[in-house]
Each structure stands twice: as structure tokens, then as C-alpha cells.
Amino acid sequence: MYSNSINSNSPVQNYPAQEISSTNQGQLNGREVSYNSASQNSSALYNNATDQDKSENKQASSLDGRLDKPKVTLLIDGSAEKTRTLFFNTTGFDQPVRNSVIYNGQFETPFIEKYSKDEIPPTDTRWSVKDGALSSGINRFRISEGGETKTQEILSKVIKNKHSAKDLKDLITGFDGSNLSREDKLKAVNDPVRRVFESYYAKNAMESIFSDPAKYNKYFEFSEKQANYIRNNFLPEDIVKSFDKACAGEKSDFDAQFRAFLPRVKETIETLSGLTPDAKTKLLKVYQNRYLNLYLRNNEEASAKLPKEHWDGIFDLFKAPGKGRVEIKIAEGDMFRQADSQSVGLLRNFDASPADLRLNQQFSIKYKDDYKGSMESGKHTRCPDRLEISDPDHRDNNIEGSYTKQLFDKGVGTYINGPSGTILIEHGAIRACKELHKNADPRGLEDHLELQGLMFVYFDGGHSMNEIQYALADDRVTGKLHEAFDGREEFKNIAQNLFQEPSILEKSAKDAAVFYNSLRAKDDVHAELRSLGQFVKV
């Protein structure tokens, strides 16, 4: 049952200045560290710095009266560059170190943004490390003023029951939005209504599949047969054993993100209505199986068993400008935002959300205290909360053929991580198992890829619908599958029309429209209160 209860608790965007005691205690890589007050702009040294770095830093500290400064080592095209230092602006940020990771700070030396390759000078104070991730200071919050987004326009028709089948399809395929202003683009990607619509589509579609044993057993059998084929023909025994331990909840060194996400995914499955215990168990198994496929690309022994050209060209679209996010790539690991969240689907932890797109029970991310410098604590963060989108006006986002240019020109959609490489791993897994699938109905392959996409959206919030579709529509990708199945015509355009089931579109649009109407009612109340405030004397 849909509830229009709205969670509108958002974190304050700017931290207030605070009085800081002369010495504060923190923890860095499992050891206690202390750092001086804001007046000294001090901090702790990142534990991965080289001895030479530490020596240089100590010398600098003796000159300016500060304690050792944290350092990160930039990675440019895979090569380690000179370390870059940060300092903690403790008058603006109240928690500089959290879970062994630099949590908040300003750059004291220039750095290179990973995707644009722009060199950012320390004088550009818009840039900082905020909550553990790189931030350009761009707005990430909902904009309620001004006109409607295209998604909102269509849902307004749904509210009045004046929508058409074409309107619903336009929610997926889009329209010409090439004249959108920078503010309109930011409004669209930060629109919780769009994120709610896509989340509902994934929720409703999986409920439709997994409430019917005849349907879900087909998906389960496809997943199990392919997973067993990959286990038996490609993967080293130690990886298989490690995977099985991780699935059983035992101590394991299997993929860190899988181990971090699995407990939460189990809770997220409980938010799906109408599923029997058997359906829940099999859906979880389908989710788990996809993590085996990652090793077809990431493990040398497994990838060596594939044709040499198996992955050639598939990931070229990620090398092009316009991936759409900002990040600093460092030797110590991934700098992801640390953000707890009760949301499911594509909703961020500060987005307004309906009650049935939140976990049923309180769930706290178990960020660990000591990652020995690997900075893996961010892998526990849900994907929508990890990184920020780059400025829509950046030159890379306006290059013809770039992902972000296509997204903004489409006029509908939202941004999570850019084109989905994970869906291409799934695509590659199907091709790796072509002997298993050589007599398969192409529709079965498409259904499998669509379910993977639905899980990306709903469980991990890893990618938006557009990010999944964009990757699968690339000519280099479609050509690979067509070639793998001997050029058979029925395999030519697999998965080119995902997320367009009419009954699911209709239900999801109506669910999202109820939420949008509730959000507008809240906005109206706020407007009235602001209006009344003009006449109140303090």
C-alpha cells in the first residue's frame, strides 16, 4: 500500500562555525591522534605517506607551528603523482577525521580532478573534501521554485488523469531538452520526484515478477545455470570458496562492496510486497550471483580463459569526456562520501521520500574504525550518496556524443554515477556463456539484463535507468552480442527498449504522482508560512 508520508529531514548544507577546544582527539588508521584548534589550521598525517613525505611535512610543521598535515597521493592515468596536502578548516567543518578517512578539509596544494583532468588551484575555495568525498560546491538539493521539470509536467497530467500512453513512454525515452539552462539541468538531476518514479518502477516490476512463481523461477533458473557455468569454467577455486563464505555471512575476503551491501540488500528485499519466503530467497540469490561475473574481467586467471578480444572496445565509452561526476583518484583508495541512509532505490539520504521507499527497520552502516589506509569505508555508502555530479556548464558536459550531453538533451532522467559499467559486465557474462545460451530465446537474455537493471536501481541505487540504457545502446556493445551469437538477427537489438512495460509504467507514474502532489502541498504550506512571516514583528 502506498503511503504519501514524506521524509523531508535534510542535513544542513553549511556547518555553523563552532568554538573548538584547544586539543581534540580523533582516530586515524586505528591509532589515536590529536590535532590542534582551528586557530592553528592543524591536522593529522595520513598514515600512508612515505617516510620522506613525513619528514618533509614535519619540517614544514615546525616552521608554521602546525601539526602534521594529511596527505593523499594522486593517481594520474594509473601512475602515482606527487602527494597533495590538505588542511582542516575546523571553523567550517566539525569532524575532520572519521573512520580513518579525511572527512572534511580544504586543499593546500593544487590537485587534478580525475575525469576532466582539470588542475584545481587551492585558491579555488569552492572545492573541498566534504563528508569524505570531493566536492565542487555545486548544489545537490531540491529546487522547489520555478517551473516544472519534464517528469513533473507529465506527472501533473497523471494527477489530472489526462495523460496518454505516449506521455508515459516519454518518461523513459525523453524529449528535446537541448535548450535547458544550467539551473534547469541541476533542478532535473536533483529532483526527488524523478528518483521516486524510477525507484517505484523498479519496485513494482520486481514485485510483479517475484509474486508469480511461474515468472520468477524462470529468472532464477537462468541466473543459476549461468552462475554455475561461470564457476565451473572460469573462476579459480579460491574465489568461489570466498564467494560462498561471503554469501553465508562468514568471514571472507570476497569483493568489499558485496560484503558491505549484502546485509542492507536483505533488508531492502523486505520492502517488496507480495513475495513469499521462497521468492525472497531466490531474488537474493540472483542478486548474489551477479557479483561472480565481476571476476570475468577483474581476475587474470578467469579473463585469460575468454577470447582475447572479449572485452575489446566495450568500455571505450567510459574513456570519453563527460562521464559526469567529480572525483579525486588517489593511491590510498576511493574517496567516497560517508553517509548513512534509510532510503532505497535512487533516493539520496537527504532527499524527500515516500514512506514505502525507505527501509522497514532502522539500519546503520557499520563503518569500520581501521582500514589500514585503504579508505574502504566509503564502499559501505549507497551509490547515490557517494559522489557529486560535475557542473552542467563544464566543457566536457557539452561535447557532442558525451554521456552528460545526451542526458541533458534527453530532458528526463537523473544522474547517479554515469554510464553503467556493471551492466556491461553482465552483458559480457552472457557472451562468455554463449555455449550455454546458444539455443536460448533472445527474450530470456533481455529479461535477465532488465532484472539486473532493476536491481541496480532499487537495491544499490547504483545507476539510473538512463545510465543503464546508454551503455547497452552503444554500437560497440550491441555488435559484440550480435557477433557472439553468430550474427543471428534476433540477437541484434537485445535490451534496447528496457523499462517500458505499459502496466508497470502506469502504476509507477501514479505512485510517483501521489508523492509529487504531496510534495507540492508541502511547498504550498511553506509558501503560506513565509508569506505570513512578512507580517510578524519580532
Nine-digit cell at 478? Answer: 550491441
Question: CB of 74 within 8 A of CB of 329?
Answer: yes
Question: CB of 381 within 8 A of CB of 336?
Answer: yes
The alpha carbon of 237 is separated from its chain's Cα centroid by a whole number of angstroms, namely 31
Task: Kindly tell me if the per-residue pLDDT of 49 is higher than 50.
Answer: no
Task: Provide the pLDDT for residue 531.
Answer: 84
Class of residue 121 by CB neighbours under 10 A (exposed 0-12, middle 13-18, buried 19+)? exposed
The helix/strand/coil state of 346 is: coil
Nine-digit cell at 515? Answer: 508523492
Residue with cell 532505490: 345
Rounded mean pLDDT of 412-428? 95
Which band of pLDDT confidence, cut at 50, 70 and 90, is reported for residue 434?
very high
The helix/strand/coil state of 180 is: coil
Helix, strand, coil % in the chain, rounded to nearest 5: 45, 10, 45
Task: Provide the pLDDT for residue 95.
Answer: 57
C-alpha–C-alpha distance, residues 290 and 283, integer Å? 11
C-alpha–C-alpha distance, residues 76 and 114, integer Å? 7
More confident residue, 485 or 2: 485
More confident residue, 269 or 4: 269
Question: CB of 167 within 8 A of CB of 159?
Answer: no
Task: Kindly tell me if the per-residue pLDDT of 382 is higher than 90.
Answer: yes
Question: CB of 484 within 8 A of CB of 310?
Answer: no
Which band of pLDDT confidence, cut at 50, 70 and 90, is reported for residue 267?
very high
Which band of pLDDT confidence, cut at 50, 70 and 90, is reported for residue 31?
very low
Those residues with Cβ within 8 angstroms of residue 18's Cβ, 6 or more apart along the chain or in another chain: 91, 94
Rounded mean pLDDT of 58-81? 50
Those residues with Cβ within 8 angstroms of residue 411's Cβ, 6 or more apart along the chain or in another chain: 150, 174, 175, 176, 177, 180, 188
C-alpha–C-alpha distance, residues 56 and 470, integer Å? 47
Nine-digit cell at 311? Answer: 572485452
Residue with cell 574513456: 319
Class of residue 481 by CB neighbours under 10 A (exposed 0-12, middle 13-18, buried 19+)? buried
Alpha helices in 378-441 (DSSP H): 403-410, 421-432, 434-437
User: The pTM is what?
Assistant: 0.84
In angstroms, the first-to-last Cα distance of the chain is: 44
More confident residue, 385 or 32: 385
Those residues with Cβ within 8 angstroms of residue 164's Cβ, 6 or more apart along the chain or in another chain: none
Question: CB of 177 within 8 A of CB of 410?
Answer: yes
Query: What is the 3-state secondary structure of 157-192?
Result: HHHCCCCCHHHHHHHHHCCCCCCCCHHHHHHHHCCH
Angle at the Cα of 122 from the Cα atoms of 116 and 127, rounded to 5 degrees: 55
Task: Provide the pLDDT for residue 377.
Answer: 76
Sign of CA dihedral 338, 344, 348, 354: negative
